Structure 1
Amino acid sequence: MRRADRLFQIIQILRRTRRPVTADAIAQELETSKRTVYRDIADLIGQRAPIRGEAGVGYILEDGFDLPPLMLTPDEVEAAVLGAQMVAARGDPALKRAAEDLIAKIAAVIPETLRPLALEPATRALPNWHAKPDNLDMAEVRRAIRAGRKIALTYRDEQERETRRTVWPFAIGYYETSRLLVTWCELRQAFRSFRTDRVSAAEFTDERYPERPAALRARWRRLREEHWQNMKEAG
Structure 2
Amino acid sequence: MTRSNRMFELIQILRAAPAPVRAEDLAAQLEVSKRTIYRDIAALQAMRTPVEGEAGIGYMLRKGYDLPPLNFDEEEIEALHVGLAMLMRTGDGALQQAAARVGRKICDVHASAEWLQVAPYGAPLDNPEEGCVSKAILRQAVRSSQKLHLAYVNGAGERSERFLRPLALIYHTDCTLLAAWCELRGGFRHFRTERMMSAELLDCSFAAEADVLRKLWQEQESNTYVYKA
Instruction: Report the TM-score when normalising by structure 2.
Output: 0.60
Q: Decide which of 172, 176, 181 is 1:175's aligned counterpart.
A: 172
Q: Structure 2: which amino acid aligns with 1:80?
A: L
Q: Decide which of 193, 197, 202 is 2:194's aligned counterpart.
A: 197
Larger relative helix fraction? 1
Q: CA deviation at 1:122?
A: 2.6
2:163 corresponds in structure 1 to 166
Cα distance in 1 between the residues matched to 2:209 and 2:80: 28
Q: Decide which of 100, 106, 116 is 1:123's aligned counterpart.
A: 116
SS at match of 1:97: helix
1:156 corresponds in structure 2 to 153
1:93 corresponds in structure 2 to 93
Q: Structure 2: which amino acid aligns with 1:123?
A: L
Cα distance in 2 between the residues matched to 1:167 and 1:105: 36
Q: CA deviation at 1:194?
A: 0.1
Q: Structure 2: which amino acid aligns with 1:125?
A: V
Q: CA deviation at 1:197?
A: 0.6
Larger Rg: 1
Q: CA deviation at 1:79?
A: 0.6
Q: Structure 1: which amino acid aligns with 2:183?
A: E
In the alignment, is the contact (CA less than 8 A) between 1:78 and 1:121 conserved in 2? no
1:219 matched to 2:212? The reply is no
Cα distance in 1 between the residues matched to 2:217 and 2:173: 22
Q: Structure 2: which amino acid aligns with 1:131?
A: A
> Structure 2, unaligned stretches of length 5 or more?
1-67, 127-131
Deviations 1:189-222 (A, max 9, x none): 1111000111112221111125454443322111
Q: How many correspondences in the alignment?
A: 153
Cα distance in 2 between the residues matched to 1:227 and 1:104: 34
User: Which sits farther off after the overlay, 208-217 or 180-189?
Assistant: 208-217
Structure 1 pair 156/133, CA: closer, same or farther in 2 (3 Å)? farther
Cα distance in 1 between the residues matched to 2:178 and 2:223: 21
Instruction: Report the TM-score when normalising by structure 1.
Output: 0.59
1:15 corresponds in structure 2 to none
Q: Structure 2: which amino acid aligns with 1:96?
A: Q
Cα distance in 2 between the residues matched to 1:89 and 1:224: 23
Cα distance in 1 between the residues matched to 2:102 and 2:224: 37
Cα distance in 1 between the residues matched to 2:82 and 2:210: 28
SS at match of 2:222: helix
Deviations 1:82-119 (A, max 9, x none): 1111113433221111000111112223xxxxx33xx2
* Cα-Cα RMSD: 2.4
In the alignment, is the contact (CA less than 8 A) between 1:133 and 1:197 conserved in 2? no
Q: CA deviation at 1:71?
A: 2.9
Cα distance in 2 between the residues matched to 1:174 and 1:200: 19
1:32 corresponds in structure 2 to none
2:138 corresponds in structure 1 to 141
